[in-house]
Amino acid sequence: EVQLVESGGGLVQPGGSLRLSCSASGFTFSSYTMHWVRQAPGKGLEHVSAIRNNGGSTFYADSAKGRFSISRDDSKNTLYLQMSSLRAEDTAVYYCVRDGFDFWGQGTLVTVSS
Amino acid sequence: DVVMTQSPLSLPVSLGQPASISCRSSQSLVYSDGNTYLNWFQQRPGQSPRRLIYKVSNRDSGVPDRFSGSGSGTDFTLKISRVEAEDVGVYYCMQGTHWPPITFGQGTRLEIK
Residue percentage of chain A with pLDDT more than 70: 99
Q: Give yes or no for A113 touching B (CB within 8 A).
A: no
Q: Give yes or no for A107 touching B (CB within 8 A).
A: yes
Spatial separation of the C-alpha atoms in residues A80 and A71, rounded to whole Å = 5
Q: Give yes or no for A98 touching B (CB within 8 A).
A: no
pLDDT, one tens digit per residue, over B47-103 is 999 999 999 999 999 999 999 999 999 999 999 999 999 999 999 999 999 999 999
The pLDDT, as a whole number, for residue A55 is 66
pLDDT, one tens digit per residue, over A64-106 is 999 999 999 999 999 999 999 999 999 999 999 999 999 999 9
**Residue A13, SS3 per DSSP:** coil
Residue percentage of chain A with pLDDT more than 90: 97
Nearest residue on chain B to A105, judged by CA atoms? B48
Mutate to test the interface with A, among B50, B102, B106, B108 (most CBs of A within 10 A): B102
Spatial separation of the C-alpha atoms in residues B20 and A34, rounded to whole Å = 31
Q: Give yes or no for B101 touching A (CB within 8 A).
A: yes
Residue B65, class by beta-carbon neighbours within 10 Å (0-12 exposed, 13-18 middle, 19+ buried)?
Answer: exposed
Chain B residues in contact with A101 by the CB 8 A cut-off are: 39, 41, 51, 54, 94, 96, 102
Q: Is the Cβ–Cβ distance between B83 and B39 less than 8 Å?
A: no
Q: Is the Cβ–Cβ distance between A72 and A56 less than 8 Å?
A: no
How many angstroms separate the first and last alpha carbons of chain B?
A: 36
How many angstroms separate the first and last alpha carbons of chain A?
A: 40
